[in-house]
Amino acid sequence: MQHETPATQPVRVGYVLIDIGMNDQELQCARLQKWHLDGATVRTAEQGAAFLESVGFCLLYPMRPAVPVPTFVGAWVGADENLPTYQHAYADPRAADASDLMVRLLRQQVAYEANLFDENNAFLVAASVFPFFYALVGERNPKQAPKGGPRSEYTQLACDAFEVIHREGPISKPKLAQTLGGGISPAALDHALQQLWSRLRITRVDYKAGEGSHWDILYRWAPEAVQEGMGLSIGESLSALVGKYLDCMVAAEQDDVESFFSHFVSRSRVREAIHALIAARELSFVRVGSRSLLQVAQMRPEPVPVVRRNSPIARRLARPAPKAR
């Protein structure tokens, strides 16, 4: 799928839309395979990078109630039975192994984190997809330091934390608290970091035993990704993400798509993007049992006319008779 806005999409010549129906079991099997829940485990950095590029984004752990999106721990295990949630991750060695692999991907910048669902459950985004997320939720002028005040979305502590991270980052949370001083409570510091992280001003770039997460300024850690995101419009970014989500889900109900993206953009904007993609024939409907679900439009070449040997390709028009003089 191309990333231009639907209004500027080129007309597809020589292709026709196809709608291949499926039943619920076939849809479930297709998701299990794409999400690596069919026994095909993801254990190496190369496999982790390939998995993320395939699905686009995923949660580290499953959530309750469930969010229809893959999980990284599920891909590491290769199944979806009895997966740990973040509340029980500390007691499950599978969670620790999956988290270690996630940190390796963050260090290599083939994955990025976004604080979209729960601060305790990482939402991982593939490097190729991250600029589109940044265009939706990130700051348009990230080099300008946040300012506190009664009308600001940032507390003064968040502004002070940003200044320290900018000056000394990457920096661990204990060292950050020590530098800020003043007997700051862990809860207050966590809230300040979440404010900055929610707007993608900062990001976790490493994790070390005994020190915890290390934070850095996002535009310094990933300047090219931030610069690309700043140049994208909200419309084209949302269209690209909707298409990627449907590719990840194989097919999904429109309400599920709207619900997923409502965590960081209004449902009305999502609905407009879906309608524009349908009008541009980028999305189509597929029958799954008794339901009509959205999917990325499947394309196939139009059949090429068969030209028999020695047969004329086109009939010539008869030449007009010469005029009498």
pLDDT for 245 equals 97
pLDDT for 19 equals 55
pLDDT for 3 equals 42
| Alpha carbons 297 and 254: distance in angstroms, whole number | 15
What does the CA dihedral 155, 158, 160, 162 come to, rounded to 10 degrees?
A: -140
Helices and strands: H and E segment counts in the chain: 13, 10
Write the DSSP symbol of residue 241. H
| Alpha carbons 102 and 120: distance in angstroms, whole number | 14
In a domain? residue 97: yes
In a domain? residue 321: no
In a domain? residue 138: no
- The DSSP H or E segment spanning 312 is none
In a domain? residue 118: yes
pLDDT for 206 equals 87
CA 217-200-282 angle, 5° bins: 135
**Residue 114, φ and ψ in degrees, nearest 5:** -135, 140
In a domain? residue 225: no
Residue 303 C-alpha from the chain's centroid: 35
- The DSSP H or E segment spanning 59 is strand 57-59
pLDDT for 4 equals 41
pLDDT for 303 equals 52
Judge residue 135's burial from the number of C-beta atoms within 10 Å of its C-beta, 0-12 exposed, 13-18 middle, 19 or more buried: buried
In a domain? residue 295: no
| Alpha carbons 134 and 140: distance in angstroms, whole number | 9
For residues 246 and 294, is the Cβ–Cβ distance under 8 A?
yes
**pTM for this model (two decimals):** 0.82
Domain count, the chain: 1
Amino acid, res. 68: P
pLDDT for 315 equals 46
In a domain? residue 78: yes
Which whole-number Å values give the CA distances from 27 to 17, 64, 287, in the listed order? 19, 22, 11
Domain span at 52: 24-128
pLDDT for 260 equals 93
What does the CA dihedral 23, 28, 34, 35 come to, rounded to 10 degrees?
A: 160
For 306, the token pair is 């068969």
In a domain? residue 148: no
Please identify which residue in the block is written with the tokens 């968040």. Answer: 158
Judge residue 245's burial from the number of C-beta atoms within 10 Å of its C-beta, 0-12 exposed, 13-18 middle, 19 or more buried: buried
pLDDT for 151 equals 85
pLDDT for 116 equals 82
pLDDT in tens, the chain (325 residues): 444 434 333 333 333 344 557 899 999 999 999 999 999 999 999 999 999 999 999 999 999 888 899 999 999 999 998 999 988 888 899 999 999 999 999 999 999 998 888 778 889 999 999 999 999 999 999 999 999 888 888 999 999 999 999 999 899 999 999 999 878 899 999 999 999 999 999 999 888 878 888 999 999 999 999 999 999 999 999 999 999 999 999 999 999 999 999 988 999 999 999 999 999 999 999 999 889 999 999 755 545 555 555 545 444 445 555 555 5
